[in-house]
Structure 1
Amino acid sequence: MNAIKTSSIAVTMCCLALAVPANAQTQPYPSRPVQVILGLAPGSLMDTAARIVAKGASQLAGVQFVVENKPGAGTMIASSYVAKARPDGYTLLLNGVAMSVNPSLYKEVPYDAARDFVPVAFLVNAPQILVVHPSLGVNTLAEFLAKYRSSGKLNFAHPGAGTMPHLAAGLFQARSGLKMQLVPYKGGAPALKDLIAGHVDLLFLTPVFKSHIDAGAVRALAVASDERVETLPNIPTFAEAGLPLPEISAGAWIGIVAPRGTPEAIVQKLNQTFNGVLQDPGVREEFKRIGQVPKAMTPEQFAAFMREDMKRWPAIIAAAGIKAQ
């Protein structure tokens, strides 16, 4: 009798022990802090966007979304870290166009962007605006193309190889037929400084530099976007100006992805959270201040966007004459 009783107690204890992980798995998500990893340094525009979104998500979800910077290797250090993370919704990657262009820019990429991640939420994009020095004496894109089509002496600044302005410059040069010297800088600020000083002739920048456009320090000719920018409504799109550049109309986009294998229910819940953040008027105003345009998408829409973005960049990079490193 004692043996039976002892055996019964052992079986009960075993069942309880087995039940603990199951109960743990049924805890509501999220029930602890969520890491948001990004591959650029603190103070970058992407970092600013990450902190705006993380703050809003923390308020909506009731747990902390913590931004962690892992800069380096064209954001590949951060991407590789998240690709190997446990797919439980507690480690996310905030990245952007680098996910699409890196396979064409680097000979070795330690992950497969199409296979190793699950798209969660599109967040914002920063449209690229073509600006020139006022001394060029043009007010429209048509005037610029007519005046300088056979010049061959223009210097086109960009903030470094593989950056969105560099890729946009290469595409613009290929589509316009202009022959220009692409001049690399270590960042957008020094490139803009030299443009304002008249040391270079043109540059692609984002709406965050609206004050320089308004002050007349640079002259905006067109914006690479499907629609005009809300904060700069007088600047026509490239299509309106007569030279469509649909390949770069998405601008320098930013979104959230999770490791492959993340449960669909968690992906959907995160998507609802981030889209909720984007609807907040205060958040939209913060993004407007830094020249970024919020845009909500479903995970399916974001996945389709990423597939198309990955397809378009090899040809653009080839047109820009950029070689894999």
Structure 2
Amino acid sequence: MGHPVRILVPQTAGTTNDLLARAIAPGLAALANRPCLVENREGASGMLGMDAVAKSTPDGLTLLNNVSNTLSLPYFYKHLPFDVLADFEPIGIEGYGNHALVVHHSLPVENLRDFIAYANAHPGMEYAAPGLATHHHLCMAMIQAMTGIRLERVLYKGSAGAVADLLSGQIKTMILPMQIAAAHTETLRILGGTRMAPFPLYPDVPSLHQQGLAGFDVEPWFALWAPRGTARQAIDACNALLNEAIGLADASGRLARHGVVPTPGSPDDLKRKAHAEHRLWGEVLGKLRISPE
């Protein structure tokens, strides 16, 4: 039995990225014949956990399980303690999910058109987001830019408090992972998905694109990274283990339960996808005239 591998998750426990890491970790541990520990290092929109991995020894024993929205961080913060691309070695993509625009049932809104009309009649309606640069925040910013509505952002320290206030009706709208929204349909109404293409796990939910927000396409995806300087041999070995562990977790149904469709690939696949995602948010946020602080 070798030294344990630590997988740092820069979001709170119970988030999709956290659950995904914990779904894959047992397979990784069994295949690598060493303990695989998942540790939450949340805070500062994911920056605390990312910084810890960026500054760790590049020996393959400290890894980062992260979600794609963190590639937008440089467009919000001028002085990041790390480079979101250069300071991490790509290991592999794990899968993708979908998010949903939801409202509390007390809101007299049945679809996206109703939502836009209601928001126009009630400027400054509050929405919840667990931090800057989260998909919850980014998607709502895009919706406002594309429709001209004006919403008021309420930031929370993590998802738990935001979801609790949404379910209680204190907050009336939010972007949520699709599987969380689907679990609370007695309280929440799903208005549409953020991913343009049909989502295999919830095929009956129409996209925002289909309902008139032409070109709206935000797909959260998840991946495993190592600190800069980790040997390519170690990266390739870890990628092979990861792809096999993804297959084990998928076969047991763990990924689907957490709203994730598996898409294993190579380190180079992840590198290309990360650079494309980084460019995308640069273009989108530039159009929204959002600048780093």
**Structure of higher RCO (CA pairs closer than 8 Å, 6+ residues apart):** 2
Q: In 1, distance between residues paired with 2:111 and 2:159?
A: 23
Using the TM superposition, name which of 276-285 and 60-69 deviates more. Answer: 276-285
2:44–2:131 CA contact under 8 A, matched in 1? no
Are 1:55 and 2:22 matched, yes or no? no
Residue equivalent to 2:206: 236
1:135-284 residue pairs with structure 2 within 5 A? 135-145=106-116, 147-148=117-118, 150-153=120-123, 155-162=125-132, 163-206=134-177, 207-213=179-185, 215=186, 217-248=187-218, 250-251=219-220, 253-280=221-248
Percent identity between matched residues is 28
Matching residue's letter, 1:151: A
The answer for unaligned runs of 5 or more in structure 1 is 1-29
CA deviation digits over 1:143-173, x for unaligned, max 9? 444x337424362412333122011111111
Which secondary structure state, in structure 1, belongs to the residue aligned with residue 184 of structure 2? helix
Q: In 2, distance between residues paired with 1:42 and 1:218?
A: 22
Question: CA 1:134/1:40 → structure 2, altered by over 3 Å: closer, same or farther?
Answer: closer
CA deviation digits over 1:179-236, x for unaligned, max 9? 23333344434434444444443211112232212x3x22111101143334433211
Matching residue's letter, 1:120: I
Residue equivalent to 1:92: 63
Question: CA 1:115/1:152 → structure 2, altered by over 3 Å: closer, same or farther?
Answer: same
Question: CA 1:187/1:321 → structure 2, altered by over 3 Å: closer, same or farther?
Answer: farther
The answer for unaligned runs of 5 or more in structure 2 is none
Which secondary structure state, in structure 1, belongs to the residue aligned with residue 121 of structure 2? coil
Residue equivalent to 1:14: none
1:119–1:257 CA contact under 8 A, matched in 2? yes
2:130–2:157 CA contact under 8 A, matched in 1? yes
Length-normalised TM-score, structure 1: 0.78
Residue equivalent to 1:309: 277
Which secondary structure state, in structure 1, belongs to the residue aligned with residue 8 of structure 2? strand
Q: In 2, distance between residues paired with 1:102 and 1:227?
A: 25
1:123 Cα shift? 1.7
Q: In terms of Rg, which structure is larger?
A: 1
Matching residue's letter, 2:81: P
Matching residue's letter, 1:209: A
Aligned with residue 8 of structure 2, among 17, 27, 37: 37
Matching residue's letter, 1:275: N
Aligned residues, how many? 291
1:317 Cα shift? 4.0
Q: Looking at secondary structure, tell me which structure has more helix per residue.
A: 1
Q: In 1, distance between residues paired with 2:40 and 2:107?
A: 41
Residue equivalent to 1:20: none
Question: CA RMSD of the aligned region, Å?
Answer: 2.8
Question: CA 1:154/1:35 → structure 2, altered by over 3 Å: closer, same or farther?
Answer: same
1:106-117 residue pairs with structure 2 within 5 A? 106-117=77-88
1:98 Cα shift? 5.0
Aligned with residue 101 of structure 1, among 72, 89, 108: 72
CA deviation digits over 1:33-57, x for unaligned, max 9? 3222232344544333222211111
